[in-house]
A and B are shown apart, each in its own frame.
Chain A
Amino acid sequence: MKVMTKKMMNIDDLKTIQGNVNKEKQLKQRGNKVRITIHMGTCGIASGAQKVMDAVLDEMSKCGRSDILIVSSGCIGLCSQEPLVTLEVLGEEPVIYHQVDEQKIRQIFKGHILQGEIQYDVALARGKAVNEEPMSNGSDTIPHVSQLPFFGLQKSWVLRNKGLIDPEKIDDYIWRNGYQAAAKALLEMTPLEIITEVKTSGLRGRGGGGFPTGIKWEFCATSKGDIKYVLCNADEGDPGAFMDRSVMEADPHAVLEGMTIAAKAINSHQGYIYCRAEYPLAVKRINLAIQQAREYGLLGKDILNSGFDFDVEVYQGAGAFVCGEETALMGSIEGRRGMPRPRPPFPAISGLWKKPTVLNNVETYANIPQIIIKGGESYAKIGTESSKGTKVFALTGKVNRIGLVEVPMGTTLGEIIFDIGGGTPSGKRFKAAQLGGPSGGCIPAEHLNTPTDYEAIAKAGAIMGSGGLIVMDDDTCMVDMARYFMDFCQDESCGKCTPCRVGTKRMLEILQRICKGEGRQGDIELLEDLAQQIKDTALCGLGQTAPNPILSTIRYFRHEYEAHILEKHCPAAVCSELFKSPCQHTCPVGMDIPAYIALVRAGRIDDAYKVLKRTNAFPSVCGRVCGHTCQMKCRRGQLDEPVAIMHLKRFITDHAERPNIEPLPVTRKERVAIIGAGPSGLTAALELRKRGYEVTVFEQMPGAGGMLRWGIPAYRLPREELDREIQEILDTGVKLRTNVRIGKDITFETLNKDFDMIYLAIGAQKSAPLNIPGEEAEGVLGAVEFLRDYNLGKEVQVGKHVAVIGGGNSAIDSARTAIRLGAKKVTIYYRRERKDMPAQEWEIRAAEEEGVQIKYLAAPVRIITQYGKVTKLELTQMRLDKFDRSGRKQPKPILGSEFAEKVETVISAISQNADLGFLPKGSGIEINQATVKVDKDLRTTNDKVWAGGDVVTGPAMVIDAIQAGQRAAREMDETIRSANGERPWVPPAEEMIAIPFEVDAETKEQPQAPIPEVSPELRRKDFREVELGYTLEMAMAEARRCMRCDAKVE
């Protein structure tokens, strides 16, 4: 083999090298049988790729084989699975191994290399990481790369060499058609032809601005001047962006080649790459590439005998974000302080050293060689009308598959985040994606269908930016996020212009005070105004875009700002100055969770119970059926699993001594009527009773409890537990009148006359109809009605096969009840996928254990009847289409996929509505669709009437109903007192309960203690309680897991 060390003279030499380096040939010719590629980008090295490399070298020396080629290559994009290793045995399809460590690589080395056995337990996929067809059907045990959504949905153009070449070897690049484009441009094309090709491609600047590259080059080419410069902006500084770094690390020659072509287009002979010094590996590889290209005569004088001279130098920036701004960047190269200067004149006229200059970013240049080789037309075929080609995104944040993805322009954000990225981890809900870094904006769930197209993204309030895509879930506070980016911008402002230097600081200070709970009325409007003024007046792009994160978060998450300012509440439980602990802050009634858990740990169960009762009259109920959003925010969950707050709560109520309840005196003349004896109504009754009012609760059913009694099955909530907590409320002197239906047994007008205030807490008691033909048939039931009838003791019959439609908790309750009632087969049909089901995960699992089948992506079409009875249910298969406003994919029927199931009973559990028929026309209470309209204090449009719970919100958690009851009582009381000119109510002093502070010196990983359950075989036969509750030892051990976020270091 001819070794090329001397300066290359012409294009034939290029071809020779290309032939020589053909990897397949190389493998054979050298007698190599195996190539092992370790992907060593910065990301890989950070994950331990160097150790893997060392282990490989070690194994090599031990095994004594000489037919193994070891290659160090760049990142293939799947950062979350690193270190990654590709192993190729001659004649076989390569295998990619993931999350490799020293031990695994020794296993792979011995197993795969020496014994020829693919190590399936460590293997990720077979094939190459760039779009290439599978070599064969191969093994089914591991998928082909193209079958993995992460790779299969990508399109490699800029990243076409990722993982295939050794970035430190120019021959590798040449093997992949490297420098062919430069040769073509220098030897065969005129500058005008190059510019035309780039214009045809429709390529737009990938640095963020999206200015058409061809037009920029044309401006510069036609600009007067003998000396011109080609600059490459490699000062990637957006938080969460690592596209350019990866390109430089994995394929540095592509950038040099792109720059050379640009140089020819504008007739420049000197280029600079401005790269941040924080990218040492990229700097090293680019410098190496420059050196190698010079040695080959691909940079320097008379490149490829073309007579054209061009050379490149790397200029390292000291990490000032503003130096990514073009005029500041040029100032920095000139040796001045990196401060932007006003434009015009534009760099194409007067740039570096006042000479005409083209400045593009790394990704833009890396696009160019392929455009020249394949033609602008072929590039323009990819993408959308206004945004052509592919775009590389750095996908990061709360997403399962973090990494570098290249997709055709126009791919929707939802596809990138959910299909390629695999969605958000740990079941948390996707909230928004930040696009374009600190200059960009957030795009919320409702805009997941936004295509990655410059204009569409701008319309949604963000910018394409350089491609940083940060995914955020429920645990991100949008105010805090805006604060973070504003902090970044004000810190990185060069300080030259007033709006950026002072304005961003002022906005930051306002955000800081909002996050601290010191926000003021009008702060949102002030922020909006300041943002507008700063955008309008700042000198450069940094300042002009700095307010974007604020504007876009206000646009989509104004309610979060309002919660911080008005309620001093951080819905994501992030702004720690607003609360003691995230769990307590998240609880709608603010239960002092750390306190009662600490008391459990100390074995003081009775005290713990008292703490529970301070804020919640239904702790036993909540210990069983509450949704426990508090657990989602438990910081322990970031370590292993959240503390089992629910189980501990139940443990306390199971074991604590219940204090006697004394009736409370009536101290006020006003009387309050409460309609509905559910958790909301009863809570309001108790709270009003505490404040001295005479309270009467009207209930149309024969017993109190509402949904807790008539909706939730006893195997989840034993009736004696419910009865006991209701009785404790009634014991305070609350009057309860059951079997009284307003409008029938007593008129609304009478109530209105007899009482000073009315609280409407009737819940949502009516199942929503399926709205399909045949619904009126015998055997079609609403879930609410079905459960209520059973709980009333009515005889309820179910057929052999019961179909339940829906995916919420009532669907699960109906299905599990049907099983207990003797149905042979119960199937839940849900139109989306399991991850989209609103029901609690453990409920779904429990149902499955009991034999309930769940069919996903199926929706009912019609009910087939015979003699008025259900015989069959016709369903259609659904497919998931675009994302809906909730951030889930919308199910759409697949035409022609209808199928019928033989069923005798159909239970509709798709939603519930309130039954508001009893309200007379003149009640003055306005209704919004099926809910009652209230103001922020829960007051209806009738001054005397308040409303809360499901009748206002639609079906929600029991704790929300309890919270509404507390709030309504407080507001009613305050309204009455302030009308009378009285002072606000002061609650009686509480018994002092000292909360111990005891934490383990060391926190060891240990998951949640599981709750003992009755076995599925036994429990499916009756309605006994399924969960058995913790023992004292279990509870105390679980309580030790609490990390006591409430503790403050004094």
Chain B
Amino acid sequence: MVNLTIDNQTIQVPDGTTVLEAARRIGIQIPTLCANLEIHHTPGACRVCVVEMERSRNLVASCVYPVAEGMKVRTNTERVRRARQTVIEFILSDHPQDCTLCQKNGHCELQSVAEQVGVREIRVPRTDFTDRRIDESSPSLMRDASYCINCLRCVTVCAEVQGVHCLTPEARGFHCKVVPAMGADLMDAVCVMCGQCAVVCPTGAIVERDEVDKVWAALEDPNKHVIVQEAPAIRAMLGEEFDLPPGTLVTGKMIAALRRLGFAKVFDTNFTADLTIIEEGNELLNRVKNGGKLPMMTSCSPGWIKFIEHFYPSLLPNLSTCKSPQQMFGALAKTYYAEFAGIDPKDIFVVSIMPCTAKKFEASRPEMNSSGYRDVDVVLTSRELGRMIRQTGIDFVNLPDEPFDAPMGQYTGAGTIFGATGGVMEAALRTVYAVVTGKNLPGLDIMPVRGLEGVKEASIEVGKLGEVRIAVAHGLANARKLMDKIIEGSAHYHFIEIMACPGGCVGGGGQSLPASNEKRMLRAQALYRDDQHVQKFRQSHENPAVKQLYETFLYEPLGERSHKLLHTHYLKRGV
């Protein structure tokens, strides 16, 4: 432990703590724009967090400065205040002054830090932004470098958390900006579209592609039958857009809001999550029994899919051929539902609400048209849905709870927990166990796959199948570790679940901002609550609507229709 004095308060903190963390412990929030402790990003770049350090000639960046015994720090002096103001003044002088037009308006860290340090004047010349170029190449993300403040968080999250290394600072001096490697557009770069860069971006430099207007246009179109599905994580996240505490389960209000927005039917991705379990569980059993490629890997996370296509194309045969629940939903909406409701599929317009930016890319993949039409027409992130609801002035918090529509709105707890890391694995094992043993998994909970540990491993005795070895990873850098082991031959699993984003979908690139691990945990807990306490059924094969689907439309898992509508193939993209 180290003793130090911050603003005349003596404090004891563990060795290795930074001055910024130490200050937080005594309630001093030092402003910063670059540091992000959750991704271990403290480049000392923005220089907003400077403090006065006894015996130091210059101010020091508190976010990286380690505490030392007897250190004396002052965080609130004229010198410090002036320095912070000047730094923010510099940043603002190189930042478009069009906050009200920016997608991040109101959620921008630069706005709040500027407010905190109190800049009232820009005395220096400003950058001319008349010729700004926005990279709109990607279906998922948009990049406007003029908003970039070089905090380098996106570089770190992309390289260290996601192991993708797509983003890098380019050029020197004033022209130094973060760009996709070799200055390519995002679509041409090795980008997995996971959107974690957008999650950590303090400004509007990288944001999700906003497609709200497309949805409004469809809703206004009298010839379109617009239906909507929501990913499991949305119900645990959407409340945050309306200042409800993280982890508030708002399923009923979400349905009510969507209905008020004008969607003809409010269905649920959880329905196809259950369906995925049936298909994928059977695929696993099939592979185990018939000597198929193992370990089998889940395929629900589109960021993960693009990642493996780029970096581990040799492992593509290990991927489950199941489409993600979103795409299964789309394919069924324009076949099964069209038949059910007697609507020409060309008039059906499918909207997804996802915690994910890569889902936009996934929906745009050319092969996702097995219904004969685009399976999914528009994907909105939770943030976009939040904006859409705010546009209408709907009082979300006070909405009544409403139920889903039939036939694609019914789901089980197994479907819900898809939204958290380990959830797919847990759901799959519940069903596999039941199918193989004819009994329910005792207690139904598989605790070792839950939680925010980067790589989780477990093995379960599944009747005559014997020991089933599983692994779960979230965050693609963790996925990399597993993949490398598999290629090395040092990992022997049957089944692996990978989610591209930290925490799984509750930590997706489209989640409500600002993000934090604590929020991810609370959201996951809400999903487990839904599974345990709200849902009548907790195993996918128990879902009556899914059963009905098989009885009336698909007939059997892995059958011909399933094969056509619910399964897909992958590309070797390479780097």
Contacts and interface: CB of A to CB of B under 8 A. Distances in A.
Interface of A: 320, 322, 337, 339, 341-342, 344-345, 490-499, 501-506, 509-510, 513, 526, 529-530, 533, 535-539, 544
Contact of A344 (B65, B87, B175): B65
B83 A536 contact: yes
A341 B83 CA distance: 20
Contacts of B83: 533, 536-537
Contacts of A322: 172
Given A337-B168, A499-B87, 13 more contacts: A339-B169, A342-B60, A342-B65, A344-B65, A495-B172, A495-B174, A495-B177, A498-B47, A498-B90, A501-B173, A506-B124, A536-B59, A539-B44
Interface residues of B, number: 38
Given A502-B94, A503-B90, A495 B82 contact: no
A322 B61 CA distance: 20
Given A490-B173, A505-B173, A533-B83, A495 B47 contact: no
A206 B463 CA distance: 75
B291 interface: no
A359 B61 CA distance: 24
B173 A497 contact: no
Contacts of A536: 50, 58-59, 79, 83
A296 B93 CA distance: 59
Contacts of B172: 320, 322, 491-495
Contacts of B91: 498, 502
Given A493-B172, A493-B174, A510 B125 contact: yes
Contact of B152 (A491, A496, A503): A496
A497 B50 CA distance: 12
B44 A505 contact: no
Interface string B434-461: 0000000000000000000000000000
A509 B124 CA distance: 9
A492 B150 CA distance: 16
Contacts of B133: none
Interface in B80-94: 82-83, 86-87, 90-91, 93-94
Contact of B174 (A320, A501, A544): A501
10 smallest beta-carbon distances between A and B, as pairs: A495-B176, A342-B44, A506-B124, A502-B90, A533-B86, A505-B174, A493-B173, A509-B125, A342-B64, A537-B47
B86 A495 contact: no
B354 to A, nearest CB: 34
Contacts of A344: 65-66
A509 B125 CA distance: 7
A112 to B, nearest CB: 52
A889 B152 CA distance: 55
B174 to A, nearest CB: 4
A214 B63 CA distance: 32
B44 A492 contact: no
5 contacts: A490-B173, A491-B173, A494-B176, A495-B171, A498-B48
Interface of B: 43-48, 50, 58-61, 64-66, 79, 82-83, 86-87, 90-91, 93-94, 123-125, 149-150, 152, 168-169, 171-177
A322 B169 CA distance: 15
A487 to B, nearest CB: 10
A344 B44 CA distance: 11
A539 B174 contact: no
Contact of B176 (A345, A493, A506, A537): A493
Nearest to A525: B123
A494 B43 CA distance: 13
Contact of B47 (A505, A509, A513, A538): A538
Nearest to B50: A537
B83 to A, nearest CB: 5
Contacts of A510: 124-125
B93 A506 contact: yes
Which of A339, A345, A504 has the largest number of chain B CB atoms within 10 A? A339
A539 B123 contact: no
Which of A493, A510, A536 has the largest number of chain B CB atoms within 10 A? A536
Given A496-B43, A530-B124, A337 B169 contact: yes
A529 B89 CA distance: 13
A337 B66 CA distance: 24
Contact of A495 (B66, B124, B173): B173
Contacts of B48: 498
A453 B149 CA distance: 41
B124 A498 contact: no
A498 B45 contact: yes
B441 to A, nearest CB: 46
A530 B123 CA distance: 10
B125 A497 contact: no
Nearest to A340: B44
A77 B170 CA distance: 39
A991 B351 CA distance: 80
B119 to A, nearest CB: 13
B124 A526 contact: yes
Contact of A497 (B45, B79, B171): B45
Contacts of B46: 497-498
Contacts of B176: 493-496, 501
A537 B168 contact: no
B90 A506 contact: yes
Which of B43, B83, B90, B171 has the largest number of chain A CB atoms within 10 A? B90
A488 to B, nearest CB: 10
Nearest to A500: B173
A873 B64 CA distance: 75
Contacts of A538: 47, 58
A492 B87 CA distance: 19
B532 to A, nearest CB: 46
Contacts of B173: 490-495, 501, 504-505
A490 B59 contact: no
Contacts of B152: 496
A501 B172 CA distance: 8
Contacts of A339: 169
A502 B149 CA distance: 10
A497 B124 contact: no
B45 A537 contact: no
A496 B45 contact: yes
Contact of B149 (A491, A492, A494, A498): A498
B425 to A, nearest CB: 36
Nearest to A342: B44
B86 A537 contact: yes
A291 B124 CA distance: 53
Contacts of B44: 341-342, 497, 539
Contacts of B87: 498-499, 533, 537
Contacts of A506: 90, 93, 124-125
Contacts of B94: 502, 505
A495 B168 contact: no
A134 to B, nearest CB: 49
Contacts of B66: 344-345
A341 B177 CA distance: 18
A432 B21 CA distance: 47
A536 B82 CA distance: 10
A759 B176 CA distance: 59
A337 B167 CA distance: 13
B58 A544 contact: yes
Contacts of A494: 172-173, 176
A320 B44 CA distance: 21
Contacts of A342: 43-44, 60-61, 64-65
Nearest to B168: A337
Which of A491, A504, A539 has the largest number of chain B CB atoms within 10 A? A539
Contacts of B174: 490, 493, 495, 501-502, 504-505
Contacts of B168: 337
B275 to A, nearest CB: 47
A490 B124 CA distance: 15
Nearest to B88: A498
Contacts of A491: 172-173
A503 B173 CA distance: 10
